[in-house]
């Protein structure tokens, strides 16, 4: 795999900070950005894939919504033993382009398809045994979240699962403040400066809208999922699984 470029997007001083978008500049450094900005990224990927493997059935589809550069699809390809088709959906052409290069270069063994589509306009899921949303639901406008979760539920086969990994708010403002402080400390340990952290925070302000864990849980149960559990929690990050 080609070496990922270092993320320096917010290293320069901006006069006015533009809203965060998943364009060419972000796509080119995205893998480095995720590894330095998401706690336990590799372990959570491994967990997502081992769970997806257990729910996967021959002849079904496994979706990754907000697939970005296809890291998860590549990991799913190695982890899933059933004969499934892997389908990645993302609204960013630049991410899809990068992801496609990665899948081709790594000789993905399973059938696969990448679709450039905006989830805010709905999503068509069919014959799915597992659906993954890793750090994606948080970017869906709240107005559309319930519709998307209901779409996913209706496209999942019985006993199929939805695996969601998200940034979350603390259940109270005290914990929220603390968790964010620990998170920024982690980013400093990974080499980001105070200025990079604060400029990125501002860029994400109206774009990444986290819910509390409890709000996410209620969203899944209200939409009709029968079982829900948390498989990962680190301060303001949470991995959740729901079963139809």
Ligand X SMILES: C[S@@+](CC[C@H](N)C(=O)[O-])C[C@H]1O[C@@H](n2cnc3c(N)ncnc32)[C@H](O)[C@@H]1O
Least distance between ligand X and beta carbon 23 (Å): 9
Nearer to ligand X, 35 or 178 (CB): 35
**Of 140, 161, 238, 242, which lies in the binding site for ligand X, with binding defined by CB under 6 A?**
140
162 close to 131: Cβ distance less than 8 angstroms: yes
**Of 7, 10, 20, 34, which lies in the binding site for ligand X, with binding defined by CB under 6 A?**
34
**Of 28, 82, 91, 198, which lies in the binding site for ligand X, with binding defined by CB under 6 A?**
91
Q: What's the CA gap between 37 and 183, in Å, rounded?
A: 9
Q: Is 159 in the site for ligand X (CB under 6 A)?
A: no
Q: What is the largest CA-CA distance in the chain?
A: 53
Select the span of 73-81, 85-93, 190-198, 211-219 touching ligand X (CB under 6 A).
85-93
- How many residues sit close enough to ligand X to count as binding (CB under 6 A)? 19
183 close to 208: Cβ distance less than 8 angstroms: no
Least distance between ligand X and beta carbon 169 (Å): 17
**Of 37, 60, 72, 129, which lies in the binding site for ligand X, with binding defined by CB under 6 A?**
72
Select the span of 131-139, 152-160, 171-179, 234-242 touching ligand X (CB under 6 A).
131-139
Answer positive or negative: Cα dihedral of 152, 83, 64, 38.
positive
Q: What's the CA gap between 230 and 93, in Å, rounded?
A: 32
**Per-residue x/- track, 95-114, ligand X (CB under 6 A):** x-------------------
Q: Is 139 in the site for ligand X (CB under 6 A)?
A: yes
Nearer to ligand X, 113 or 171 (CB): 113
Q: What is the DSSP string of 20-82?
A: P--SHHHHHHHHHHHHHHSTTHHHHHHHHHHHHHHH--TT-EEEEET-TTSHHHHHHHHH--S
Q: What's the CA gap between 155 and 80, in Å, rounded?
A: 20
21 close to 95: Cβ distance less than 8 angstroms: no
Q: Which residue is nearest to ligand X (CB)?
A: 66
Least distance between ligand X and beta carbon 35 (Å): 10
Which stretch of DSSP H or E encloses residue 188?
Answer: helix 173-189
Cα distances (angstroms) measured from residue 38 to each of 32, 63, 118, 238: 10, 21, 24, 11
Q: What's the CA gap between 141 and 138, in Å, rounded?
A: 8
Nearer to ligand X, 62 or 174 (CB): 62
Q: Is 37 in the site for ligand X (CB under 6 A)?
A: no
**Of 20, 22, 112, 225, which lies in the binding site for ligand X, with binding defined by CB under 6 A?**
22
Helix axes 41-55, 71-79, angle to 10 degrees: 50
Select the span of 9-17, 62-70, 182-190, 196-204 touching ligand X (CB under 6 A).
62-70
By CB under 6 A, name the binding residues for ligand X: 22, 34, 66-68, 71-72, 90-92, 95, 118-120, 134-136, 139-140
């Amino acid at each position: 795999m080609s070496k990922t470029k270092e993320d320096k997007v917010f290293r320069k001083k901006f006069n006015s900070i533009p809203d965060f978008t998943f364009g060419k500049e972000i796509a080119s450094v995205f893998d480095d950005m995720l590894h330095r900005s998401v706690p336990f990224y590799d372990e959570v990927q491994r967990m997502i894939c081992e769970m997806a493997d257990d729910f996967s059935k021959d002849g079904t589809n496994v979706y990754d919504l907000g697939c970005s550069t296809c890291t998860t699809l590549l990991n799913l390809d190695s982890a899933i033993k059933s004969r499934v088709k892997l389908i990645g959906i993302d609204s960013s052409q630049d991410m899809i382009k990068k992801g496609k290069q990665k899948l081709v270069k790594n000789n993905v063994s399973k059938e696969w398809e990448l679709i450039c589509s905006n989830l805010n306009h709905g999503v068509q899921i069919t014959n799915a045994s597992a659906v993954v949303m890793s750090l994606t639901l948080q970017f869906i406008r709240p107005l559309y979240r319930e519709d998307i979760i209901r779409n996913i539920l209706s496209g999942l086969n019985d006993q199929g699962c939805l695996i969601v990994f998200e940034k979350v708010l603390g259940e109270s403002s005290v914990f929220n403040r603390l968790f964010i402080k620990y998170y920024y400390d982690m980013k400093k340990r990974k080499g980001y400066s105070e200025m990079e952290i604060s400029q990125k925070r501002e860029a994400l302000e109206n774009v990444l809208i986290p819910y509390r864990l409890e709000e996410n849980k209620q969203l899944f149960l209200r939409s009709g999922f029968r079982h829900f559990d948390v498989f990962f929690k680190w301060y303001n990050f949470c991995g959740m699984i729901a079963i139809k």
